[in-house]
Every structure is written in C-alpha cells, then in structure tokens.
Amino acid sequence: MPPAEAARLVVLDASVAVRWVVDETGSDEAAALLERDVAWITPRLLLTEAASALRRKVADHALTPAVAGQSLDALLQAVADGVIRLVDDERVIAPALLLAMSLQHKVPDCVYVALAEREGAGIATADDRLARLARSRGVDVLQVPHA
C-alpha cells in the first residue's frame, strides 16, 4: 500500500486566524479553509498580531472586551489542540529582515513569507499586500476576502 499523503502545509496569517474567531467579512471563507486537508503552521508573531487586532476591535466598539478575550482563548486552544503549530520566530527572523530590506516591505509580513519559503508552504491571508508579496516570491496564496 502506498503511504498516506501528507496534508498540505500552509502558513496561517493573523488576518485569517482572527476571522476564524470573530464574525466579519471573510469569516465564512476563512472557516471553509478549516475543512481542507491542511497542516497549519505560523510564527509565534501571530498571537501578538491577533491580540492587537482584537484590541483594535474593542477600541472601535466592534467587540466587547469579554468577546475579545474569548476569541483569543479560542486561538490559544487551537494551538494547544495542535490545530495550529507555532514556529519560533527566531528561526525565520534573519531571512525576514533580509526580505524586508531587499523588498522594502514590513518585517512582520516578511516573517510569514520567510516561514512559507523555508517550509515550502502556502500562505492563508486576507491581507492584500501580504498576498501580493507572497505571490511575487512564488508562494501559493489562499486569499480570504476582507472589508
């Protein structure tokens, strides 16, 4: 019997992770990605970016503090359950810095791209700039709509 085919590896961006736990434009499409045979990896940076996005939603009165906390807890549980595998940022920060300097792009976006390049993975994002950057580097993009 041939060995079972491994799940496709995809780097999860915070813009999609937040849409998994908060109902907004693109949430249905983001949730549909969970139905795919995908192994989700992400830099630890995702947790900081997701928490920052949730704080902005509270400041904009789009979420209550309690819902923001529950949303972050859901992402942390996905990590604890192995749905999302965190990769230490220090493993990709040097190539991310080189990318950012050569492409004149934000370092956080380049962290996701550097991880995708290192792992031969795609990227799931709702961020148009990150999607363009990834595509320019030959990285497959699973793009989710945004507002």
Q: How far apart, in whole angstroms, are the C-alpha atoms of residue 101 and residue 3?
A: 42
pLDDT band, residue 48 (cuts 50/70/90): very high
- Give me the sheet containing 8-12, strands edge to edge: 84-87, 38-43, 8-12, 122-125, 141-143
Average pLDDT, the chain: 93
Chain centroid to CA 97: 18
Q: What is the pTM of this model?
A: 0.91
> Each residue of 64-119: pLDDT tens digit?
999 999 999 999 999 999 999 999 999 999 999 999 999 999 999 999 999 999 99
Nearest to 14 by CA among 96, 104, 75: 75
Which residues are 85's β-sheet partners? 41
State residue 140's pLDDT score. Answer: 96
State residue 147's pLDDT score. Answer: 64
